[in-house]
Amino acid sequence: MLANAGQKTITASIVNEPWGHQTFDDYPSLIKWTKKKDGTWSYDYSLFDKYVSFVMTTGINQRINCYSMVPWKIAFSYWDEASQKEAVFTDAIGTPAYDAFWRTMLTDFTKHLKSKNWFQKTYIAMDERPMKAMQAIIKLLKSVDKDWKLALAGEYHQEIEKDIDNYCIASKWEFPDDVLQKRNAEGKTSTWYTCCTEPYPNAFSFSSPAEQVWMGWYTASKNMNGYLRWAYNSWTKNPLIDTRFTAWPAGDTYMVYPGPLTSVRFEKMIEGAQDFEKIKQLQQLYTKNKNSAALAELNKALENFNIKSLSTVTADEMLQRVKPLLNQ
């Protein structure tokens, strides 16, 4: 279902609870970290390999986002052979101890990924992390291998933009036009996301279904590559009964239901993605055929897709005006 909806990226946790256990279910590490009695380290990638290989069979195979060197709580658990129990590393980002802890792992991980022919599509990924932490990670990663790639979902930081290969900004931010043009020319991925904080547009269970379609048009209007919805199936205790979870708006943690069962909002998000793809194809077609009138009409319609406009006009009203442009 996710592959058919247009998912491009595999999400893989390489440490325990990279998001500070923010969901009802656990997010354990797909890599087992072990500190041996002699002080050296070993890393068991068997579960990571099994999971990544499985997801690739579904057609999701463009990128592997590994979470994370900067989790929401700096606490990396591992098995300590000497004490025969789980231990936790908590030294701060940028300290010599932190760099040594991660350099050993990254060096080994790099070799493993290259042996699987996965290195070129693998990213060390971070969610909503501060810029100083990102700068420290960038420096460390590039010192291990200059070809390491990074992914970040969060605020827009001009200072590190050039170092982020897959940059997903929150909906309150926009990429400067010249930056976005350069990123597109360099083959970097530039997207946007919504989560629990934005009242609209969003994909809560009480959101207007049209908002998910609207997102596809907004993505096209801003010349970005795509949209990120943070949770596909982070289900609540009783997901078929109640979509609320702690203090977050209802439906924030999942788009589909156990079964698996789809939802109106998931299907509407797919419709938005389809509209996005058709808009891009029509722009290319009109440019190739020098149909300047049709191209101008389509581009003019896209100019109306700004988030502020939703405060006065509904997503459904906006879409009813422009949908016919895709079927002329």
- Per-residue pLDDT, 222: 96
Q: Please answer whether residues 59 and 3 qualify as being in contact, where contact means their C-beta atoms are separated by less than 8 angstroms.
A: yes
pTM here is: 0.95
**Could you tell me which residues are beta bridge partners of residue 227?**
192
* pLDDT per residue as tens digits for the range 57-85: 999 999 999 999 999 889 999 999 999 99
The distance from CA 6 to its chain's CA centroid, rounded to whole angstroms, is 13
pLDDT of residue 308: 94
Per-residue pLDDT averaged across 275-299, rounded? Answer: 97
Q: What is residue 154's three-state secondary structure?
A: strand
pLDDT at 185: 96
Q: At what angle do helices 315-322 and 210-221 cross, to 10 degrees?
A: 60
- Which band of pLDDT confidence, cut at 50, 70 and 90, is reported for residue 179? very high
- The full DSSP string for 54-95 is HHHHTT--SEEEEE-SS-SS--EEEEETTTTEEEEE-PPTTS
What is the structure's pLDDT at 60? 98
Instruction: Sheet with 63-67: list strands edge to edge.
Output: 9-13, 63-67, 122-127, 149-154, 166-170, 189-194, 226-229
**CA–CA distance, 243 with 254 (Å, rounded to integer):** 8
pLDDT tens per residue, range 309-324? 999 999 999 999 999 9
Whether domain 9-273 has CATH 3.30.420: the reply is: no
Cα–Cα distance, 29 to 91 (Å, whole number): 19
- Does residue 135 carry a pLDDT above 90? yes
Alpha carbons 56 and 47: distance in angstroms, whole number: 14
Rounded to whole angstroms, how far apart are CA atoms 65 and 88?
Answer: 23
Taking residues 201-216, what's their average pLDDT? 97
What are the angstrom distances between the C-alpha of 250 and each of 25, 216, 254? 17, 22, 9
Mean pLDDT (the chain) is 96
pLDDT at position 72: 86
d(CA 77, CA 292): 59
Confidence check: pLDDT of 129 > 90: no
Q: What's the confidence (pLDDT) of residue 9? A: 97
156 band by pLDDT with thresholds 50, 70 and 90: very high
